[in-house]
Every structure is written in structure tokens, then in C-alpha cells.
Homo-oligomer: A and B are copies of this chain.
Amino acid sequence: MNMKRILDLWKDQQSTLNGWISLNNAFGAEVMAYAGFDTLTIDMQHGVSDYSSLIPMLQAIKPIPTFVRVPWLEESSIMKSLDAGVNGIICPMINSKKDAQRLVKSCYYPPYGERSFGPIRAKFLYKQNYFEVAKEETFVFAMIETKEAFENLEEILSVEGIDGVYIGPADLSCSLGVTPKFDQEDEVVFQAIKLILQKTKKYQKFCGIHNGSAAYAKKMEKLGFNFLTLGSDAIFMLEGAKKIIQDFHCN
């Protein structure tokens, strides 16, 4: 499934499944690529990766469409990730219109933004002239994960070039005074999640969320989320190991 097909599904109100890569290991990433996710995301924020492991991981994953969660709203991280050929950026802590505009400026070439030209790996991955197609081939997710972002949501959504929002349930919980966790059932956070989704739809943009379980992801799909992250490589490894030990002792 290529990125165009993903977008078509989303436009058709369908959802896709995203795998989350926290380890900085190219072979581990390739293992994740064989699991059956529609897209994969390399987490450079809370995952163990930095730029030195990014390109080998992207090479391992190809040709699955790939996102990077950059560590922060930093021009250099966004630029180097896009040059490396990712299909999209998930940027943490977009809390205001100004943040959203800086993100957009970093992601697109003139005249839409101020990204510097030098697509060292990206230029190999696109058949046509990369400069011409870069705008439409780059998907930009703003993370909505603070009270401030929640309050500024419509202003953020109105920034052209922001293609969707991605909810970080743990940070959103913290910011709303609730203990952070995935698959949040706390009413305050849950209402916020639903409201974010509703406003995002109003602006005809796409909405993603991190899920800890298949059941919660299913629930989110029914609400209308398009981009559903399921667990992470490190969690699968740890939980798998714990479970087989436990199964042994219960056998």
C-alpha cells in the first residue's frame, strides 16, 4: 500500500493501522515491516532513535509508507527527516497558531514554506521531479497534546499545510491534570479527545491517535479516527517475553 492509497482510504472515511518503532535498530525495524501494518512511524522523540539510525531504518522499512515523529519543533530535525525520504512528519507540542506556522514553514519548499532544498535520499524515492511533487507528497501532523493546544485548536487547524492532527493521550492527560496513560478512559481526557476529533473533521483534516490495545483502537476507529497507532516494537517484545514466562509458570 503506498501513501496515495492511504490518503484515499482516509478521504473515504476509512482507517489504517500504524506501527510504532521505538528501538534504534534497522533489523528490528524490518521485522516490524513484515508484521502487516499499513504505515510505520519512527519515534525520534521518546524512542531511542536519532538521525544516525534514521536512514538505515528507513531503508529497512521500504517500501512501506513511513512517518517520523521528530523530537521537537526544530528546523534541523524536520529538514533532515524529510530529506531522508519520509512520507510525513508528526511534530510534538504544537500549541499555537505560531507553532503551526513554524512547522509548515519547515516542511514545505517556497512558495509554501522555507524548507531548504537538498533532498539527498528523497530525490531517489519519487519518480517525478521531487521539487514539483514535494508539497503533495509530504503529510504534516501537528500533535495536539496540551491544554494550550486544545484551546488554540481551531487556529492551529486553520493553518494551511497542516494536514492532520495526532493526539498524544499521555501528554494530553498530564496537561489536563490526569495521570498519563494510553487508552485513556478518564472522562475529562476522553471528552477532549472527542472534541479534537470533531473539530479536525470540521476542517476536513485527518486525525490520528496512539492506542495501547486493539480494543481501544477499534473504539477510536468507530469514533472516526483515520490513523490508528497500535502499541510499539519495544512493548511487543517486553510483553511477549513476560507472557511466555508467565505461561510457563502457569502451565
Given known A110-B175, A171-B117, A230-B248, contact A83–B27 (CB-CB < 8 A): no
Q: A174 and B59: CB pair below 8 A? A: no
Pick from B27, B45, B179, B234: contact of A24, CB under 8 Å: B27
Pick from B30, B46, B240: contact of A239, CB under 8 Å: B240
Interface readout for A1-38 with B: 1 if CB under 8 Å, 0 if not?
00000000000000001010011111110111011110
Count identical subunits in the complex.
Answer: 6
Q: A111 and B177: CB pair below 8 A? A: yes
Residue of A72, A79, A231 contacting most chain B CB atoms (<10 Å): A72
Residues of B within 8 A of A159 (CB): none
Q: How large is the interface on A (under 10, 10 to 19, 20 to 34, 35 or more residues)?
A: 35 or more
Given known A79-B71, A251-B214, contact A237–B59 (CB-CB < 8 A): no
Given known A50-B50, A52-B52, A244-B231, contact A22–B237 (CB-CB < 8 A): no
| Chain A interface (Cβ < 8 Å from any Cβ of B) | 17, 19, 22-28, 30-32, 34-37, 45-48, 50-53, 55-56, 59-60, 62, 71-72, 74-77, 79-80, 83, 92-93, 109-111, 114, 116-121, 124, 129, 131, 145-146, 168, 170-171, 173-175, 177, 179-180, 213-215, 217-218, 228, 230-231, 233-242, 244-245, 247-248, 251
* Given A46-B119, A214-B251, 6 additional A-B pairs, CB 8 A: A25-B25, A50-B52, A71-B80, A116-B145, A129-B179, A236-B239
